[in-house]
Amino acid sequence: MVRIPAAPAALPAESSPVPLPGWDPDWSRLVPISTSGGTRTLHVLDTAAVLGRAGLEPDGTILAVHGNPTWSYLWRRLAQATVEQARAGGPVWRLVAPDQLDMGFSERLAHPELPHPDRLDDGDYRTLGGRLTDLDALVSTLGLDAAARSGHRLLTLGHDWGGVVSLGWAGRNEDLVAGAMSLNTAVHHPDTAALPMPLQAALAGPLLPGSTVLTDAFLRVTTALGHPGLDPELKAAYRAPYARAARRGGIGGFVADIPAGPHHPSHRELRRVSSALERFGKPALLLWGPRDPVFLDTYLADLLHRLPQADLHRFETAGHLLAEDEDLAEPILAWAGRLLQGEARDRASVAVPAAGEADWESTGTRPLWSFLDDWRDRAEPALVDMGGPDRSPLGWDRLATVVDAIATGLVDRGVRPGDRISMMVTPGRDLTAALYAALKIGAVVVVADAGLGVSGMTRAVRAARPDWLIGQVPGLAVARSQNWPGRRLSVQTLAAPLASALGVEDSLYRMALAHDGERVTAAPRPADPAAILYTSGSTGPAKGVLYTHGRLAALAGLLRDVFDVRPGSSLLAGFAPFALLGPAIGATSITPDMSVTRPATLTATAVAESTRAGGATILFASPAALRNVVATADRLTGPDRAELRRIDLVLSAGAPVPPQLMREVSALFPNARFHSPYGMTEALLLADIDGETVTELAGSDAPDAGVCVGRAVGPVRLAIAPLDADGASAATLLEGTEAAGVLGEVVISAPHQKAGYDRLWLTDSHSKRDTRDGLTWHRTQDVGHLDREGRLWIEGRMQHVVTTPEGPVAPGGPEARIDTLAAVSRSAVVGVGPRGTQAVVAVVEAVGPAGARPPRPGLAPSELTAQVRQAAAPVPVAAVLVTGRVPVDIRHNSKIDRTRLARWADSVLAGGPVGSP
């Protein structure tokens, strides 16, 4: 049982009748303050005493303000983390987190009547202005203002309506604060817009006192908003200060103080808060849970508009109770540490271009659209779209004219440099023209792959928050139904009723027809943002990867130089990321007749027809697409096969290519060299291996563990960050021979790698925390090693490393050996048990003998178990399980969901139902 210190005689003593998990009684203190209405007493979480007893002098103070109906218990994990960091020798931050007056275990006000939005004053119920005054008084009483004037760093932090109080106080005391942080909150709501439905319900007439004071309904609804749900003990801890109706008056008063319109007594104060933030110049951090039914993404967009210097991290699976859904101590303390080091951005630094920012001539690269301007008189076609209604080749002059027309139309419609445009257009001539037009005027193109599905695309688009959306009718319909942000433009000109129903303002076809000359006004620089590409999401919510114009130009140059895709080449692109790079290299770009969301729809006949139509000499396709090309080769005619002999280079990326598939593809394209580049959305070309090397390694008696993806290409540098016993990667980077045979995280540096992750500040900080030789390195989350020949072998992902008592085990090595067994069609190696003591479990799709059924799901038969254990050696396999299907992503048919399999294996081995993973 945790006791709250007894209050002075003037305040009824209160204590917690229930345990408070994670709470240290030494944090609690009662602080009398002189504020409006006289002297009031606040219960305050304060780590000063704990730090003082350890002889630790704070480098700064974090002043944290909770919202409604929580209390300072919200910040307990941050309090513990600040103390642990200080004791470990890191920066020393004091945490001061008051229970707001009338809340938590602070003093209660007298309430002569139930709360009502029209009858609020600071004597009976605290208003926004009164809460700001209370915070003034606390800061003064604790001497934080005097300390700040003497150089002590003071940071503010808030959540919910405590975020308004916190940001409001920071805005009007900018001379005292070093920076401001906030979780989900809102500082402005348009007078003409309706409040979110949960707030409308809470404010509705008699529901307000009934749900907030007379009952604990509002409190229970709030504590039910966790993702995942809060444990009963935590819910009880949040309810502890509000056990009786007499203790819940502040909850009702806080709800009643929501400014629902201009008539509200706190409306003017909220306007002052929001206006002050537009001038706030200090660094800021926003941490956001998008699954919040109250503080919607529109409020986040408003905050980013007012605080352009803010670093933002969105926790895509989190919601309103962000501090419970995620452990926020790491991002908060990491950001606070950067601020101490002078590395946090303020408003002035955002407005000033980076020092030494290069122009195109000095970079030695050229903008993606430059060939469109230079090649108007070329006879070769620029585009051939085999999947569209018009399969006739599109010349360079026509493509350049259309791009300029659309660019001019976009500018006239209101698109400005830096505006985000979400592209909901299938690959082909329409997407190519729209994309190059947007890039040419300095807009930022947002691409959320349709393979993510409606929910994944919705999450991605809401995260990127585009200003504009360009789409065909299916995409526009989804955007309308899911209420995606952005003004709408269609590709084709739509009938007025349909355009109105979809919210469409204009069309690209109309822009192309209306253009009467060349007028493109913007000229983006290499360092300007160009595109946000969303990852596949196969290992978690898709992340937005930000590229600049210069980095995209470097990618096009690498494709040209490494694979000899020269101006005048003809590229058949069955792999969506490269379908748009042909015009950037001066190569004819051919889009085959296939579904971009389902690569396996590419057929051998479609390849032959595309090659015939565009004179293709290069084929770029994913392994899933190539597998179906081989499977449909029996439909080819003699002339079709002759067309395939024109292909002299086959490139395949997106997943490892099995040696057998390479051999089958080589037989189908007898004159082609086969190369399999390794990369990811964050850096699309990093290493390359050719077919001959794959065949050679496949025949080796003792190949390395994992899948070999070859040597680094061009200017790419590869390094390994060794894994420790817990499966974490070290700060040390090993290159060359010193990295040979060392298992670790793959770390890369390349001119064409991402500029950063969009609105994922913490992820971005982790991925590029390394600098070496003046370069920024990216931590890929892939696990592998370099061999003595400098070739990279991929053995899995960081989150799938099994941490056994003998050390970390990457799944890729044993899986590759198990997959060679005739009785196994696919396998996955997972860890079961606590980290550091995990057992290695192999889950296999088993193949029965000819004419016989495969083994039943569950524990594998003894003979199969013995075979798997022998193949996996020297990795010790504790158990072998059989499943009907190892779950993989639909798009690539290769990325195994090992996390899901680990949960299933754990359940089965514990005696649970077998079922299916």
Spell out, as residue ranges, where the chain has pLDDT lower than 70.
1-16, 204-205, 352-357, 537-539, 576-577, 579, 596-597, 850-852, 889-894
pLDDT of residue 596: 67
Residue ranges of domains in the chain: 25-348, 693-800, 803-917
Q: From 572, 644, 579, 573, select the one nearest 605 (Cα to Cα).
A: 644
- H helix or E strand, kind and range, residue 663: helix 659-668
Please tell me the predicted confidence (pLDDT) of residue 123. Answer: 73
Q: Are the CB atoms for 31 and 141 separated by under 8 Å?
A: yes
Give pLDDT, residue 541: 86
According to the model, what pLDDT value does residue 2 have?
40
220-266 confidence digits (pLDDT tens): 999 999 999 999 999 999 999 999 999 999 999 999 998 888 888 89
Range 872-901 burial, b when 16+ CB lie within 10 A, else e: beebebebbbbbeebbbbebbebbbbbeeb
Please name the CATH architecture into which domain 25-348 falls: 3-Layer(aba) Sandwich (3.40)
DSSP count for the chain of H helices, then E strands: 34, 36
Peptide bond into 69 cis (omega under 30): yes
Q: What is the predicted pLDDT for the residue at 538?
A: 63
Q: Give the CATH H-level superfamily of domain 803-917.
A: ANL, C-terminal domain (3.30.300.30)
Please name which of 546, 552, 609 lies closest in space to residue 583, comparing C-alpha atoms. Answer: 552
DSSP E strands, 230-276? none
Work out the angle at residue 861's Cα, subtended by the Cα atoms of residues 856 and 864, and round it to the nearest 5 degrees.
110
Which amino acid is located at 708 in the chain?
C
Return d(Cα 89, Cα 502) in angstroms, integer. Answer: 58
Report the distance separating Cα 830 and Cα 815, nearest Å.
10
Sheet holding 824-832, edge to edge: 824-832, 839-846, 879-883, 858-859
Report the C-alpha gap between 911 and 376 in whole angstroms. 70
Give how far Cα 768 sits from Cα of 702, 721, 762, 900, Å. Answer: 35, 13, 10, 28
Find residue 42's DSSP bridge partners: 31
Cα 819–824–829 angle (5° rounding)?
A: 55
CATH topology of domain 693-800: Luciferase; domain 3 (2.30.38)
In Å, how far from its chain's centre is CA 3? 41
H/E element, 795: strand 792-797
Residue type, 176: L
Which DSSP letter does residue 392 get? S
Q: Where are the alpha helices (DSSP H) in 795-881?
A: 812-818, 862-872
- Residue 820, classed as helix, strand or coil, is coil
* DSSP classification of residue 789: T
Q: What is the pTM of this model?
A: 0.91
For residue 559, the surrounding DSSP H or E stretch is helix 549-563
Q: Distance between CA atoms of 668 and 152, rounded to whole angstroms?
A: 71
User: Pick from 479, 478, 481, 473: which is nearest to 498 by CA?
Assistant: 473
Exposed/middle/buried for residue 237 (C-beta within 10 Å: 0-12, 13-18, 19+): buried
* Three-class DSSP labels, 501-518: HHCEEEEHHHHHHHCCCC
The closest alpha carbon to 656, from 901, 895, 900, belongs to 895
